[in-house]
């Protein structure tokens, strides 16, 4: 009985592993303009795990963002975004991510300098909400994997988030002090 259960579980695990091996990897690039240091950050995730992080030292860039080793852009694409403040009228950022077939990088054009901002005429319009935007845009690379893009701007914790963080730190300190007093 025991050996049949182990055998069944092993067969199930091997089947799941084979299924996972056949599934295409999913890549996600998150570009962000953080208000803390006014730099642009780019992170690439493979199946949810961070594999690349790039920091651009200015809030206004046009630069290549290199793909992972061996990958090239399979089809030319151009995704554009206009981001507005919560009022829906004040333009905060414009972002354009494009790639040419055969390139080993995508071009990122990220502008958040208020003195040089004009809306991208072909860009989708989004209102900032203080967190990663829900929109994800695909680009396809040569090895068949899907390359997604998700854009963020001015990711600042809201007052409620700060309150929760402070309460959490206070609770940890209280618990540590209580443990020290009872020891």
Does residue 158 fall inside a structural domain? Answer: yes
Percent of the chain with pLDDT over 90: 10
Does residue 145 fall inside a structural domain? Answer: yes
Does residue 76 fall inside a structural domain? Answer: yes
27 pLDDT higher than 80? yes
* Digit-coded pLDDT (tens) for 68-111: 878 888 889 898 988 888 888 989 888 898 999 999 999 999 88
Mean pLDDT of 57-77: 87
Which of 159, 146, 154, 157 is CA-nearest to residue 126?
154
Could you give the 3-state DSSP secondary structure of residue 167?
A: helix
Res 17: pLDDT: 41
Does residue 18 fall inside a structural domain? Answer: no
Number of independent structural domains in the chain = 1
Does residue 57 fall inside a structural domain? Answer: yes
32 pLDDT higher than 70? yes
Tokens 């020290």 label which residue?
A: 180
How many Cα atoms sit within 13 Å of 115 on the Cβ side?
1
Instruction: State pTM to two decimals.
Output: 0.64
Does residue 11 fall inside a structural domain? Answer: no
Does residue 40 fall inside a structural domain? Answer: yes
What integer best gives the mean pLDDT of the chain? 74
Does residue 64 fall inside a structural domain? Answer: yes
Q: Are strands 146-153 and 26-34 parallel, antiparallel or unpaired?
A: parallel
Tokens representing 34 are 């953080």
Could you list the residue range(s) of the whole structural domain that residue 80 is in? 26-171
Mean pLDDT of 11-22: 41
Mean pLDDT of 28-45: 77
């Amino acid at each position: 009985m025991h050996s049949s259960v182990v055998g069944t579980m092993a067969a199930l695990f091997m089947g799941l592993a084979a299924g996972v091996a056949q599934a295409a990897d999913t890549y996600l690039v998150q570009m962000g303009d953080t208000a803390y240091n006014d730099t642009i950050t780019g992170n690439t995730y493979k199946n949810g795990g961070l594999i690349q992080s790039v920091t651009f030292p200015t809030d206004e860039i046009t630069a290549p963002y290199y793909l992972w080793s061996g990958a090239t852009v399979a089809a030319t694409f151009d995704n554009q975004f206009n981001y507005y403040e919560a009022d829906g009228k004040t333009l905060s950022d414009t972002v354009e991510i494009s790639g040419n077939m055969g390139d080993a990088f995508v071009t990122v054009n990220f502008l958040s300098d208020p003195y040089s901002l004009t809306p991208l005429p072909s860009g989708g319009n989004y209102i900032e909400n203080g967190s990663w935007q829900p929109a994800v845009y695909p680009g396809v690379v040569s090895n068949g994997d899907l390359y997604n893009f998700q854009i963020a701007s001015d990711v600042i914790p809201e007052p409620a988030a700060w309150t929760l963080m402070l309460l959490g730190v206070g609770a940890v300190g209280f618990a540590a002090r209580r443990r020290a007093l009872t020891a």
